[in-house]
Amino acid sequence: MFKGRSFHTMDNKGRVSIPVRYRDILQESQDNQLVLTNWEGYILAFPQAEWVRVEHDLVKLDRFTKVNRDFLRHIVSGAEECPIDKQGRILIPQTLREYAKLDREVAIVGMVSNFEIWDKERFEAYRQRAEENIDEGVLNRMLSQPVI
């Protein structure tokens, strides 16, 4: 599982290091490539195997419904395959860097089966706002679910 957050510096070419603990997860599943796509002003990063599962679900959407078409167009048109180099870095394509307004400092944020790449300053501002609005009812409902 991808969890936690870490901060990294993106180089002038747009390369950023993947945290070692995330690389370990990727190596266990023999994933040496990520699929990046745009979402809500940041980048979603999926291991290749997880992206295949996402695509499997995307194919099931009714493309004759405008809201589904718009969603598909947004997610799929932004998708880029990004190999992980021998130093554990990925090159974030220019279009995605511009979309997420990435400068030099980036936040890499675990989201269980995938992770996100944010501009560090934007992530910190988001995190502070979100913390004020967290609904502990979500945690209570989750904890009250029967264990299977």
Quote the CA–CA distance of 108 and 58 in Å, as a whole number: 25
Does residue 86 belong to any structural domain of this protein? yes
Tokens of 129: 């706002």
Does residue 69 belong to any structural domain of this protein? yes
Total number of domains in the chain: 1
Tokens of 40: 């809500």
> Exposed, middle or buried: residue 114 (CB in 10 Å: 0-12, 13-18, 19+)?
middle
pTM of the model: 0.88
Does residue 127 belong to any structural domain of this protein? no
Does residue 136 belong to any structural domain of this protein? no
pLDDT at 99: 97
pLDDT band for position 73 (cuts 50, 70, 90): very high
- Domain range for 38 is 5-120
Does residue 138 belong to any structural domain of this protein? no
- For 117, the 3-state DSSP assignment is strand
pLDDT digits (tens, 9 = 90+) for 14-25: 999 999 999 999
Does residue 10 belong to any structural domain of this protein? yes
pLDDT band for position 89 (cuts 50, 70, 90): very high
Tokens of 59: 């194919």
For position 32, which CATH number holds? 3.40.1550.20
Does residue 130 belong to any structural domain of this protein? no
**In 33-119, alpha helices (H):** 48-59, 66-77, 94-99
